[in-house]
Amino acid sequence: MIIAVDGPAASGKGSIARALAAHYGLPHLDTGLLYRAVGLSVARAGGNADDPHDAVAACDFPESLLMDTELRNEASGALASRVSIHPQVRAALIQRQRDFAMQPGGAVLDGRDIGTVIAPGASAKLFVIASPEVRADRRLNEMHRNGMEADRDAIIADIRARDDRDMNRDHAPLKQAEGADLLDTSNLTIDAAVRQAISLVDAQLDRRSKE
Ligand code: CDP
């Protein structure tokens, strides 16, 4: 069984996907990490994330890069959003994601195009959203916990810019997949969001089993 979880930055999709994987006993892939690894590789090689040649050259990054803590920072997120525009980059990463999804027993994947492109036939699909202000506050709290200071307005602006780029790109834009249930986490604690996610997935699995 494949569970596809898509949504914008800081919507809660990563935490929800991890919790779903634990609940259903499935492996989990955070596909954003792959794009972050490409973005960070380009930057470290002194390349330009907006240049498709530089970005494609960075797609065979070493596996060990996926453990690098620098991937988690805002700069890597912004670089990821820039390299992910290039269709050649998306094509270079597609097989790896499909192989993960198709492993025996299934998997949970989270990202921007899991339900639309990577696994359109997924057993269950969620589209997780939250307001930009709530998402900015989550990012701020996360940064404060890590001892970093940040300006709330700058974070809101960054989130809006990333949404705009992710939703309006020509290839695999961020959008609710056909058959995906919408889950708005703006006013939910993470525990409540996970409970709702599990009941939505259970209902989709139940519907599918009767088809
Ligand atoms: O954790 P957060 O939602 O901030 O970001 P992420 O999921 O790590 O993704 C970083 C960036 O990679 C996104 O803004 C997207 O532009 C891109 N991405 C994508 O295009 N397709 C995916 N399946 C996953 C991420």
Average pLDDT over residues 137-163: 89
Looking from the CA of residue 84, the nearest atom of ligand 1 is 20
**What are the beta bridge partners of residue 126?**
5, 181
State the Cα–Cα distance between residues 39 and 51, nearest whole angstrom. 11
pLDDT in tens, 9-29: 999 999 999 999 999 999 999
Cα of 37 to ligand 1 centre, how many Å? 11
Look at residue 97 in the predicted model and tell me its pLDDT.
Answer: 98
**What are the beta bridge partners of residue 30?**
110
Query: Does the Cβ of 115 fall within 6 Å of ligand 1?
Result: no
Atom 16 in ligand 1: residue holding the nearest Cα: 81
Q: Where are the alpha helices (DSSP H) in the chain?
A: 13-24, 32-44, 52-57, 74-83, 87-101, 132-145, 152-168, 190-210
Atom 19 in ligand 1: residue holding the nearest Cα: 112
Structural domains of the chain in order of their starting residue, each with its CATH number: 2-206 (3.40.50.300)
Task: Give me the half-sphere count of Cα atoms (radius 13 Å) on the Cβ side of residue 72.
Answer: 8
Look at residue 73 in the predicted model and tell me its pLDDT.
Answer: 86
Cα of 196 to ligand 1 centre, how many Å? 23
Query: Does the Cβ of 41 fall within 6 Å of ligand 1?
Result: no
pLDDT in tens, 172-182: 899 999 999 99
pLDDT in tens, 35-78: 999 999 999 999 999 999 999 999 999 999 999 999 988 899 98
Asked whether residue 162 carries a pLDDT value surpassing 90, the answer given is no
Query: Does the Cβ of 12 fall within 6 Å of ligand 1?
Result: no
